[in-house]
């Protein structure tokens, strides 16, 4: 069969049942991405004879005689198409995984001739999880929001280093490479929520031609670990095996097959005969911690495995009181209380989890993986398999989104086992369905809050009770529980407070790290209760916050007055954020349709700028022979934009154009160490080390220049790739030729600062249908010094959009017996272009002495206040308070009926 | 457990790397009707946009209907419109407007009602969407509201059936094994009718919660078709313009309110009632 791709003829022989997407990738058209394999997300978009199609649902046999155009065929890095150039100009991407498909749709005739108002309809088949779509819309309109290449230092909207490669599809993600003799791995997942494997008969599977290995519990290392990864591995319970004989959720690995193709591996999985002993299961976390409930990890030693109370399914608990809550409530003039619930949510990053592993020429294990934490993966893989740390290399190419979902070890251990067993290169790639059924999800929480206050609004008491469903395994269960009740409580100055929190095992799919790390769920309850309190008191909600929030000089504590903390209210900007959001929400916005109910609501969020208990980065900066610089930094780029900021910091210090700074990142063979890209640490930890290294290299360069020439006492300057010394201009290449100049620097993630966000909405609600329309959306952020305004705005808009999904649309549903029933994007609605309003982003003017050049982190933070702000606006409009996420139209309609 | 689009009990469990349809052993391209034989493990392939979107581990052969080269659409001598099952949505929407077919304006609205993007329209077919028998099938909405009739084929036989009777329930049709949809015919009278359209989903462009389409024929008869909100198409017929009570009473008789992630049944029923009344008013 013959067809054409980007003007070049191609011979191919697709197998029956093959789709065009995999056929194109087989021929190294890696610009055609896989996001869903269901025709929903658009990442695989191509033009066939000029018409846009989703190549994942296009039967490959029909491509004969036709002409395919991919993003790479529209333009290349050296000569972008006009549409591609517009995506670069407008920074119309973050992780960039959806971008080649986005560019293809934008280049179609239909879009080229479309009215603006029709764009949301035309783009409903192009999902972006990162940007919130404003920058994409800017790209479609030809708005330029970034600096031309070759210009711009710190504080300017410098373009992402990979921009031109991303928009042409040339940027390589995790699985975008060819490997000769690659084997594929498929997994048999448990059909039961709780069962014991009595036996597996693998004879038929092993006998299938093309099968190289069948892996079961017999092959599993006996080392318990956690899929959740942290700097300190003791933070997560050791409750997981590569293969366990006990299956604790429907979807858990039972066995894996390694074969020549995915199809053969899957067929072999179907040939496995497994004898299951079905065990009683529990799905409600309240039931799970009650006497008589089936135990998930009852056989484990609480001290060895670090499980708080395995005898009642409790993986972590916190019970603490400061002052006397009962007395505080007795002193109160007004008391409010309520119970709020949040749903299970999928990260829905466009690139699914995936790992390719092989042995290098020296027999060393190499894992190329889609991870936020390559160094932590290396360390744990070495531990599980009893390997030397030096015997394992783990690296990440550009990662197609994560949002916390890739702070887990979900694919790397299986690939390791398969590579060690077969000696061959092996790949394991999650499907979108796997993301819903076999990855991790945001912890669903039930949160009860009681608040007491005096007439003037002064809080006298706060009680928070949290029940968190960690699912079948405890990865991130303790961390999410503790963090969730930290900044949500410590942001208020209240003398009497009590926190009761438990994270509980159930036979539901495992929960894990998710943007905001538990804070969002608790803030939804606390900020809803604060809103109710303001109503009862007849106080403006902004004013009630002003009277109670922590200010510099206050301790930042939860329930322990003597708590040792490294948190500082450095460069405090919450007061400005409250003022900015209050002013902005009152102005402008869309008009409400006739007859709709209108309401305004706000909420705040506080978050530590780094994770607690240490976050380390050691970077190396080298002056290259050509006068450029190479930066080795361990943190990963997954759409967070830290690569851009790191380049800016180096370029500024060395007087280089940003393009002359080369990055080698997220590779355990490059930079010495980095804890990883989580907890919003990429700018404030890795970035801080980068800044110090840049200053050190600058000093070395200037010193070397003075050694080369006599400046006659003139102050040396670094600019344009040279040192200017009086009238003398010494190119950096000349300095590099004299002696190799290298600087290293480290950052340790302590002390930590606090960042603030205040979001306000005005909404209209259709009293007949429950439809919520956002008329005005504003977020004020205290990000310290703004290093890259356009990127920062993009992070805030993207966090807002993701949280609008959580607040209004998204819920991973189960049947109540552990089976996930929402397994595709068409049944799990993440925000499309049509769903996301424009958010006005405002910055407080602050300087954080702890961050690089005064910057704070701002990746997770923008997400947290959205749901309560929206809930409070809906409450204001309809007169009834929502207590459950998502606030879907059918639920809001029920609220309206309850009036 | 609510009826789901993915009937988990009927499927092998997902096994990790769902890519392509690896159990397929052949894609057969029939050259003529006599080769339209679909055996055990076989399935007719329309556009493929749904078949390729989910695991099909029970299938081993596709019979590609598009190979038969059916003319996408044709006007019949009696003024009705026949659309081949293999006509893509994109082709359907390119049928030129004409004064005697005002109801053609409904076609793009029903296409937009699909959760699939306009890009999928270039591949997805009319017959495929109807045969899929999803409550939110936009072409089922269109065909049932306009009283379209399906021509069903086997290699050597044929029969006709109203689309409203063809779609029996969620992912359930009256198609016999080996039978395929050959075409859909929209009667001239329905194409000449006045139309009113209402739709709601849980999000602006989301999968339909309910789609309510009203039609007033030249003789004053009013038909209200309900899809998306119910497990199968529900068609309310009134010989003359109905009263509020007539419509409400007719809706009282519906017992198939659908429950899935795209809307709770009580909300779907309420929205249907609201829209049906608006449509009644509009077509009075």
ipTM: 0.96
Q: In what order do the strands lie in the sheet with A246-247?
A: A246-247, A195-201, A273-278
Residue B17 scores a pLDDT above 60: no
| The pLDDT value given to residue A714 | 81
Residue B7 scores a pLDDT above 60: no
Of the candidate CATH numbers 3.30.365.10, 1.10.275.10, 3.40.50.10880, 3.90.850.10, the domain formed by A617-739 belongs to 3.30.365.10
Inter-chain Cβ pairs, chain A and chain B, closer than 8 A: 231
Distance of residue B132 Cα from the nearest chain A Cα, in angstroms: 15
Rounded CA separation A714/A44 (Å): 58
Residues in chain A closer than 8 A to B17 (CB atoms): 184-186, 262, 265-266, 428-431, 434
Helix, strand, coil % over all residues of chain B, rounded to 5 = 30, 25, 45
Q: What is the CATH number of domain A570-610+750-899?
A: 3.30.365.10
Rounded CA separation B128/A592 (Å): 40
Architecture in CATH of A306-347+440-565: 2-Layer Sandwich (3.30)
Residues in chain A closer than 8 A to B56 (CB atoms): 17
Q: Which of B5, B17, B61, B275 to mutate to test the interface with A (most CBs of A within 10 A)?
A: B17
Residue B146 or A727, more confident: B146
Rounded CA separation A772/A43 (Å): 29
Q: What is the mean pLDDT of each run of 10 residues along chain A (899 residues)?
A: 97 95 97 97 98 97 98 97 98 98 98 97 98 98 96 92 98 96 97 98 98 98 98 98 98 98 96 98 98 98 98 98 98 98 98 98 97 98 98 98 98 98 98 97 98 98 98 98 98 98 98 98 98 98 98 94 90 97 96 98 97 95 97 96 96 95 97 94 95 97 88 84 90 92 96 97 98 98 97 98 98 96 96 98 97 95 98 98 98 95
Contact at CB, A266 and B15, closer than 8 angstroms: yes
Same fold for the pair A570-610+750-899 and A617-739 = yes
Q: How many CA atoms does the CB half-sphere of A547 hold within 13 Å?
A: 18
Rounded CA separation A335/A320 (Å): 21
CATH class of B76-189: alpha beta
Tell me which residue in A40, A431, A834 faces B204 most closely, judged by beta carbons: A834
Residue B10 scores a pLDDT above 60: no
Contact at CB, B49 and A822, closer than 8 angstroms: no
Which of the four pLDDT bands, split at 50, 70 and 90, describes residue B2?
very low
Contact at CB, B267 and A264, closer than 8 angstroms: no
Distance of residue A890 Cα from the nearest chain B Cα, in angstroms: 5
Rounded CA separation B91/A262 (Å): 35
**826-885 of A, contacting B, C-beta below 8 A:** 826-829, 832, 834-835
Residues in chain B closer than 8 A to A34 (CB atoms): 19
Residues in chain B closer than 8 A to A809 (CB atoms): 202-203, 206
Contact at CB, B14 and A189, closer than 8 angstroms: yes
Tell me which residue in B18, B22, B123 faces A433 most closely, judged by beta carbons: B18
Residues in chain B closer than 8 A to A263 (CB atoms): 20, 22-23
Q: Which of B4, B7, B13, B15 to mutate to test the interface with A (most CBs of A within 10 A)?
A: B15
Contact at CB, B52 and A434, closer than 8 angstroms: no
H or E stretch at A51? strand A51-54
Q: What is the CATH number of domain A2-168?
A: 1.10.150.120
| The pLDDT value given to residue A293 | 98
Residues in chain B closer than 8 A to A887 (CB atoms): none
| The pLDDT value given to residue B15 | 32
| The pLDDT value given to residue A713 | 77
**70-109 of A, contacting B, C-beta below 8 A:** 105, 108
B228 within 8 A of B200, measured Cβ to Cβ = no
Tell me which residue in A121, A188, A267 faces B112 most closely, judged by beta carbons: A121
Task: At A274, give phi and psi (nearest 5°).
Answer: -110, 130
Tell me which residue in A256, A829, A893 faces B270 most closely, judged by beta carbons: A893
Residues in chain B closer than 8 A to A261 (CB atoms): 22
| The pLDDT value given to residue A899 | 87
Single out the residue of A688, A557, A543 nearest to residue A618, CA to CA: A688
Contact at CB, B119 and A187, closer than 8 angstroms: no
Q: Give one DSSP letter per residue of A115-182, joined into a string.
A: -GGGHHHHTTT---SSS-SHHHHHHHHT---SPPTT---TTS-PPPTTHHHHHHT-S-BTT-S--TT-
Q: How many CA atoms does the CB half-sphere of B70 hold within 13 Å?
A: 24
Contact at CB, B206 and A829, closer than 8 angstroms: yes
Characterize the bridge pairing of strands B172-173 and B167-169: antiparallel
Domain boundaries, chain A: 2-168, 183-279+356-437, 306-347+440-565, 570-610+750-899, 617-739
**Peptide bond just before A751 cis, omega within 30 deg:** yes
Residues in chain B closer than 8 A to A438 (CB atoms): 16
Flag whether residue A531 sits within 8 Å of chain B, measured between CB atoms.
Answer: no
Residues in chain A closer than 8 A to B261 (CB atoms): 811, 813, 821-822, 827-829
Secondary structure (3-state) at B237:
strand
Residues in chain B closer than 8 A to A19 (CB atoms): 20-21, 52
| The pLDDT value given to residue A726 | 84
In eight-state DSSP terms, residue B233 is: -
Q: What is the CATH number of domain B191-282?
A: 3.30.390.50
Tell me which residue in A17, A826, A890 faces B263 most closely, judged by beta carbons: A890
| The pLDDT value given to residue B9 | 32
Q: Which of B16, B93, B274, B275 to mutate to test the interface with A (most CBs of A within 10 A)?
A: B16
H or E stretch at A659? none
| The pLDDT value given to residue A11 | 96
Architecture in CATH of A183-279+356-437: Alpha-Beta Complex (3.90)
Tell me which residue in B17, B117, B268 faces A266 most closely, judged by beta carbons: B17
Contact at CB, B119 and A108, closer than 8 angstroms: yes
Q: Which residue of A has its CA nearest to B46?
A: A59
pTM summary value? 0.97
Contact at CB, A38 and B203, closer than 8 angstroms: no
């Amino acid at each position: 069969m013959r067809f054409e791709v980007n003007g070049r003829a191609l011979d191919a022989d697709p197998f029956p049942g093959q789709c065009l997407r995999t056929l194109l990738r087989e021929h190294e058209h890696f610009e055609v991405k896989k996001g869903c394999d269901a025709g929903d997300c658009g990442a695989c978009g191509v033009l066939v004879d000029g018409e846009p199609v989703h190549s994942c649902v296009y039967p490959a046999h029909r491509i004969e005689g036709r002409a395919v155009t991919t993003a790479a065929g529209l333009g290349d890095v050296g000569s972008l198409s006009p549409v591609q150039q517009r995506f670069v100009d407008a920074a119309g991407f973050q992780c960039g995984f959806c971008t080649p498909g986005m560019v293809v749709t934008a280049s179609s005739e239909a879009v080229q001739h479309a009215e603006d108002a029709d764009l949301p309809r035309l783009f409903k088949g192009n999902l972006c999880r990162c940007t919130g779509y404003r920058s994409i819309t800017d790209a479609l309109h030809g708005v330029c929001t970034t600096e031309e290449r070759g210009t711009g230092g710190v504080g300017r909207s410098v373009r992402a280093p990979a921009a031109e490669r991303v928009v042409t599809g040339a940027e390589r993600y995790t699985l975008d490479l060819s490997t000769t003799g690659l084997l594929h791995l498929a997994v048999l997942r448990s059909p039961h929520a709780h069962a014991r494997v009595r036996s597996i008969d693998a004879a038929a599977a092993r006998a299938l031609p093309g099968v190289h290995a069948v892996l079961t519990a017999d092959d599993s290392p006996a080392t318990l670990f956690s899929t959740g990864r942290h700097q300190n591995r003791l933070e997560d319970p050791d409750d997981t095996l590569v293969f366990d004989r006990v299956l604790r959720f429907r979807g858990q690995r039972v066995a894996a097959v390694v074969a020549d193709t995915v199809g053969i591996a899957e067929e072999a999985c179907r040939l496995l005969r497994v004898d299951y002993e079905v065990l009683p299961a529990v799905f409600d976390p309240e039931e799970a911690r009650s006497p008589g409930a089936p135990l998930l990890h009852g056989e484990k030693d609480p001290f060895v495995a670090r499980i708080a109370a395995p005898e009642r399914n409790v993986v972590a608990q916190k019970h603490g009181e400061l002052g006397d809550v009962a007395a505080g409530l007795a002193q109160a003039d007004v008391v409010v209380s309520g119970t709020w619930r949040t749903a299970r949510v999928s990260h829905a990053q466009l690139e699914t989890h995936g790992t390719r592993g092989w042995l290098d020429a020296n027999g060393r294990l190499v894992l190329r993986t889609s991870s936020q934490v390559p160094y932590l993966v290396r360390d744990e893989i070495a531990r599980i398999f009893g390997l030397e740390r030096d015997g394992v290399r783990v690296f990440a190419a550009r990662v197609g989104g994560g949002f916390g979902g890739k702070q887990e070890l979900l694919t790397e251990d299986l690939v390791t086992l398969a590579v060690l067993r077969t000696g061959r290169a092996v790949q394991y790639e999650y499907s979108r369905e796997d993301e819903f059924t076999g990855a991790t999800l945001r912890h669903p929480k039930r949160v009860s809050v009681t608040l007491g206050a005096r007439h003037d609004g002064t809080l006298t008491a706060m009680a928070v009770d949290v029940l968190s469903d960690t699912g079948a395994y405890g990865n991130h269960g303790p961390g999410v529980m503790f963090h969730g009740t930290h900044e949500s409580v410590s942001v208020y100055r209240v003398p009497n407070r009590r926190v009761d929190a438990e994270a509980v095992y159930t036979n539901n799919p495992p929960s894990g790290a998710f943007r905001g790390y538990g804070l969002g769920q608790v803030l939804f309850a606390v900020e809803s209760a604060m809103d109710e309190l303001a109503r009862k008191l007849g106080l403006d909600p902004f004013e009630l916050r002003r009277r109670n929030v922590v200010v510099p000089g206050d301790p930042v504590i939860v329930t322990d007055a003597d708590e040792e903390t490294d948190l500082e209210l450095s460069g405090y900007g919450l007061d400005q954020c409250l003022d900015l959001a209050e002013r902005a929400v009152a102005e402008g916005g869309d008009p409400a349709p006739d007859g709709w109910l209108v309401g305004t609501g706000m909420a705040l969020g506080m978050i530590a700028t780094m994770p607690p208990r240490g976050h380390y980065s050691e970077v190396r900066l080298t002056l290259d022979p050509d006068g450029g610089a190479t930066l080795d930094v361990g943190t990963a780029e997954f759409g967070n934009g830290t690569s851009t900021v790191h380049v800016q910091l180096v370029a500024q210090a060395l007087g280089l154009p940003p393009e002359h700074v080369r990055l080698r990142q997220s590779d355990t063979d490059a930079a010495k160490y980095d804890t990883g890209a989580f907890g919003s640490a990429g700018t404030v930890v890795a970035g801080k080390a980068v800044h110090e290294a840049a200053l050190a290299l600058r000093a070395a360069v200037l010193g070397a220049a003075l050694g080369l020439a006599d400046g006659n006492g003139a102050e040396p300057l670094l600019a344009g790739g040279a040192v200017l010394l009086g009238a003398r201009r010494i190119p950096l290449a000349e300095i590099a030729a004299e002696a190799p100049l290298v600087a290293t620097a480290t950052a340790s993630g302590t002390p930590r600062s606090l960042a603030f966000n205040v979001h306000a909405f005005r909404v209209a609600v259709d009293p007949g249908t429950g439809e919520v329309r956002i008329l005005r959306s504003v977020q004020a952020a205290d990000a310290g010094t703004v290093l890259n305004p356009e990127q920062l705005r993009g992070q805030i808009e993207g966090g807002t959009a993701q949280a609008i999904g959580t607040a209004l649309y998204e819920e991973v549903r189960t049947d109540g017996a552990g089976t996930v029933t929402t397994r595709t994007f068409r049944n799990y609605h993440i925000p499309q272009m049509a769903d996301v309003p424009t958010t006005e982003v405002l910055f407080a003017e602050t300087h954080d002495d702890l961050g690089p050049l005064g910057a704070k982190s701002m990746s997770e933070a923008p997400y947290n206040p959205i749901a309560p702000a929206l809930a409070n606006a809906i409450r204001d409009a309809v007169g009834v308070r929502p207590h459950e996420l998502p606030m879907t139209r059918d639920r809001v309609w029920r609220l309206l009926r309850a009036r | 457990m609510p009826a789901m689009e993915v009937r988990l009990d009927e499927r092998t469990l997902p096994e990790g790397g769902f890519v392509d349809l690896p159990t397929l052993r052949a894609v057969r391209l029939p050259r003529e009707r006599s080769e339209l034989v679909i055996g055990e493990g076989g399935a007719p392939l329309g556009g493929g946009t749904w078949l390729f979107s989910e695991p099909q581990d029970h299938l081993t052969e596709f019979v590609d209907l598009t190979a038969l080269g059916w003319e996408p659409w044709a006007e019949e001598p009696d003024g009705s419109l026949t659309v081949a099952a293999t006509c893509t949505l994109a082709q359907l929407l390119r049928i030129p407007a004409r004064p005697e077919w005002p109801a053609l304006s409904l076609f793009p609205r029903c296409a937009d009602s699909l959760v699939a993007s306009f890009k999928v329209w270039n591949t997805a077919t009319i017959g495929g969407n109807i045969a899929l028998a999803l409550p939110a099938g936009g072409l089922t909405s269109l065909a049932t509201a306009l009283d379209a009739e399906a021509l069903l084929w086997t290699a050597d036989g044929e029969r006709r059936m109203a689309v409203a009777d063809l779609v029996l329930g969620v992912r359930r049709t009256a198609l016999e094994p080996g039978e395929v949809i050959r075409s859909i015919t929209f009667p001239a009278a329905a194409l000449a009718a006045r139309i009113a359209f209402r739709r709601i989903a849980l999000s602006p462009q989301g999968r339909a919660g309910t789609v309510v389409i009203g039609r007033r024929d030249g003789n004053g008869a009013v038909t209200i078709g309900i899809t998306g909100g119910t497990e199968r198409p529900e068609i309310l017929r009134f010989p003359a313009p109905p009263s509020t009570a007539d419509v409400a009473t007719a809706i009282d008789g519906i017992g198939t309110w659908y429950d899935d992630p795209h809307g709770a049944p009580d909300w779907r029923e309420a929205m249907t009632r609201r829209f049906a009344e608006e449509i009644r008013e509009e077509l009075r």
